[in-house]
Chains A and B, each alone.
Chain A
Amino acid sequence: GQQVMQIPQYQHVQEGEDFTTYCNSSTTLSNIQWYKQRPGGHPVFLIQLVKSGEVKKQKRLTFQFGEAKKNSSLHITATQTTDVGTYFCAGTRTQGAQKLVFGQGTRLTINP
């Protein structure tokens, strides 16, 4: 079945350093979504990417969808303590499909 892998599993950075998490799917994805889950919280939607090679920015966050639509990345510039949490990518296999397959997440901790 479809698998979505994320690396690294954990990342600890000094406040102000950059952070990147990578997501790879075993199959071509129709779209990919990114969620953030704070410690003790629930996943919160960040963004959706649909087009091959798409790049979207949200302030310090940059999201990319690979040309082959099998990988994606999230890059945070100059991390802040409010960025702490686990970042999940989640993809759907076909257009209009509702089943989201989540990666195992990258847990980000920050030293102030």
Chain B
Amino acid sequence: DTGVSQDPRHKITKRGQNVTFRCDPISEHNRLYWYRQTLGQGPEFLTYFQNEAQLEKSRLLSDRFSAERPKGSFSTLEIQRTEQGDSAMYLCASSFLQGAPYEQYFGPGTRLTVT
């Protein structure tokens, strides 16, 4: 499978714990995005990387959230001191740097439940 992969697919954690999610983009893609999606809503942009550089962060990304893409390949999203409001589907997407359309290829997501 050469699509975007995410791990884990599901995560249940207790409030206050830290969690980390991983995203492996399509190998030729140098742009990587993180989104959060809650039930009945569209994905909300969190941040994006071009290669290893984090170029934009949403105001939704509080100090408890941090994302990295150390070698310009896979990325991790960490949430510290989780809160119940963090429960959501966390989606990763990737795209080519050049060419149009700038379609984004989404992974299956990580569903986070904070109890």
Contact (A104, B40) CB under 8 Å given A42-B107, A48-B101: yes
Chain B: interface residue count, which band?
20 to 34
Which of A42, A43, A48, A98 has the most chain B CB atoms closer than 10 A to its own CB?
Answer: A42
Interchain CA distance A78-B101 in the complex, whole Å = 27
Residues of A near B93 (CB, < 8 A) are 43
Is A68 in contact with chain B by the CB < 8 A criterion?
no
Q: Is the CB of A43 within 8 A of B45?
A: no
Chain A: interface residue count, which band?
20 to 34
Is A13 in contact with chain B by the CB < 8 A criterion?
no
17 more CB-based (< 8 A) A-B contacts, given A48-B102, A88-B43, A100-B45: A4-B42, A33-B102, A33-B103, A33-B104, A42-B108, A43-B43, A45-B101, A47-B101, A50-B101, A88-B42, A90-B43, A98-B55, A100-B33, A100-B43, A102-B43, A105-B41, A105-B42
